[in-house]
């Protein structure tokens, strides 16, 4: 049985969304980020990323991780690609070329989108979005996202999804871009990207994992 380690309020939501789309059975172990348990001794609190038993699974001390038989993976997007390819049917690749295109979008998400988008998330989460410093950080992050957003906008001008159907590629890019969504103006110049992101987030599987995320304590 496939096991996912990581609470929904983490990057574990990415493979959990993939699993919800393909309805594959799995065991969920809700490991929480140790930094969210300030003051709680790691050995006494809930299962967390600083505990030796979790560090034995992921020495980086981060979630998600995935076990599938003898296979252990620790990068959220690699886990998404694995699940989609093995269990996802049309969510995964139908050919080697499609697998390469999906890998391309995974790397695009991780390198061109996530680093700047997460600056927006952290600035908002830390309550600094309305301070002059926070506004400066968000403006700069939005600037860094212009080229990847233009690339997406161009692609989505004649595609509904990143491939010729909804796939794991959409989940990976949408999840990284979601980090920037607290800045409402981010997508105002990119209507096709905004429409694509709304369509991805309107999927029943996303709504299910999002409500499970919101049911977890902040």
User: Using CB under 6 A, which of 45, 61, 90, 115 touches ligand GSH?
Assistant: 61
Considering the rule CB under 6 A, would residue 62 count as an interface residue with ligand GSH? yes
Place of tokens 């010729």: 164
Considering the rule CB under 6 A, would residue 48 count as an interface residue with ligand GSH? no
Q: Which residues contact 14 (CB under 8 A, 6 or more apart)?
A: 64, 76, 77, 79, 80, 171, 172, 175
Residue 139, phi then psi, degrees to nearest 5: -60, -40
Considering the rule CB under 6 A, would residue 142 count as an interface residue with ligand GSH? no
Cα dihedral value 26, 73, 47, 207, nearest 10: -50
- By C-beta, is 20 or 114 nearer to ligand GSH? 114
* Stretch of 16-24, 31-39, 129-137, 205-213 lying at the interface with ligand GSH (CB under 6 A): 31-39
- By C-beta, is 45 or 61 nearer to ligand GSH? 61
User: Using CB under 6 A, which of 3, 33, 128, 181 touches ligand GSH?
Assistant: 33
Min dist CB 13 to ligand GSH, Å, is: 9
Size of the site for ligand GSH (CB under 6 A): 12
- By C-beta, is 3 or 33 nearer to ligand GSH? 33
* Stretch of 59-67, 87-95, 149-157, 205-213 lying at the interface with ligand GSH (CB under 6 A): 59-67
Considering the rule CB under 6 A, would residue 49 count as an interface residue with ligand GSH? yes
Min dist CB 93 to ligand GSH, Å, is: 20
Considering the rule CB under 6 A, would residue 178 count as an interface residue with ligand GSH? no
Please list every residue from 67 through 106 that binds ligand GSH, using CB under 6 A: 75-76
CA angle 208, 65, 203 (to 5 degrees): 20
Considering the rule CB under 6 A, would residue 35 count as an interface residue with ligand GSH? yes
Considering the rule CB under 6 A, would residue 125 count as an interface residue with ligand GSH? no
Q: Which residues form the interface with ligand GSH (CB under 6 A)?
A: 10-11, 33-35, 49, 61-64, 75-76
């Amino acid at each position: 049985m496939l096991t996912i380690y990581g609470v929904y309020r983490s990057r574990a939501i990415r493979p959990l969304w993939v699993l919800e789309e393909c309805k594959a059975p799995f065991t969920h172990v809700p490991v929480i980020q140790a930094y969210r348990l300030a003051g709680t001794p790691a050995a006494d609190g809930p299962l967390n990323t600083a505990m030796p038993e979790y560090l034995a699974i992921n020495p980086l001390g981060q979630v998600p991780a995935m076990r599938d038989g003898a296979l252990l993976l620790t990068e959220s997007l690699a886990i998404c690609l694995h699940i989609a390819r093995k269990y996802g049917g049309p969510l995964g690749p139908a050919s080697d070329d499609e697998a390469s295109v999906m890998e391309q979008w995974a790397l695009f998400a991780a390198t061109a989108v996530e680093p700047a988008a997460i600056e927006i998330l952290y600035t908002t989460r830390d309550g600094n979005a309305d301070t002059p410093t926070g506004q400066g950080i968000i403006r700069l992050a939005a600037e860094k996202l212009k080229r990847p957003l233009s690339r997406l906008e161009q692609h989505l001008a004649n595609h509904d999804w990143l491939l010729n159907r909804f796939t794991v590629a959409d989940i990976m890019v949408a999840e990284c871009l979601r980090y920037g969504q607290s800045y409402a103006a981010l997508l105002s110049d990119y209507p096709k990207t905004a429409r694509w992101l709304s369509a991805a987030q309107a999927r029943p599987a996303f709504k299910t994992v999002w409500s499970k995320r919101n049911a977890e304590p902040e």
